[in-house]
Amino acid sequence: MIKGVLFDMDGVLVDSEEYICQAGIEMFREKGMAVTGEDFRPFTGMGEDRYLGGVAEKYGIPFDADRDKARTYDIYREIVHGKLNALPGVFDFIEKCRKLGLRMAVASSADEIKVITNLEEIGLAPSLFGVVINGQQVERKKPFPDIFLKASAQINLGPRQCLVVEDAVSGVKAAKEAGCRCLALTTSFSASELSAADWIARDLSEAPTECLKW
């Protein structure tokens, strides 16, 4: 029986992919390298170490994770200020979860600074959730299941009692590996790419009723 919901952040609660991509492109431009948005796509949902590091590896660009992520986040915060909004259905879906007595957590592969920035920008208080887990708190990022196992444990539930809401192929794989059921949103990938999920919807405004009642 469902007792908890574990939310990914980017592509689920907020669409910030465009902006982190812009920030990454600008960071690499400052290094003298021209990369494109398509270069980042294979690394979506895997955390910024891999998101940026994968592109650097592809082109043989020297990459200092701490320094280059810090610069990217500086650019990112400048870009997103006042521009981010919650995706359709987010507040209503969270209210449904609350009324059903479901425990909630955020489980994002992004670093803490990005998670907090995004939640603040869209007006979602971290206190709405039992726990907010970021990618710096797990050694193995998605598609490994570690972040969902950690999030479910910290809200005192087993993974089989939890629904994961994801938008990335790597996130769906992580959810299923953890033993959770999964609602996939087609904000970043097509329905065919997300076919391993239990339910698929365009966004949370179209989430099927049965995903919260099993």
List the structure tokens of 134: 């970021």
List the structure tokens of 7: 């939310």
CB neighbourhood size of 47 (10 A): 23
Dump strand ranges (E) for 14-147: 103-107, 131-133
Question: Could you say which of 10, 15, 39, 198 is catalytic?
Answer: 10
Q: Is 8 a catalytic residue?
A: yes
DSSP-derived secondary structure letter, 10: B
Cβ 171 vs Cβ 46: under 8 Å: no
DSSP-derived secondary structure letter, 105: E
Q: Is 198 a catalytic residue?
A: no
User: Diameter of the chain by CA atoms?
Assistant: 53
Query: How far apart, in whole angstroms, are the C-alpha atoms of residue 185 and residue 167?
Result: 5
Question: Could you say which of 8, 49, 68, 203 is catalytic?
Answer: 8
**CA 93-94-97 angle, 5° bins:** 90
Query: How far apart, in whole angstroms, are the C-alpha atoms of residue 40 and residue 7?
Result: 22
Active-site residues: which are they?
8, 10
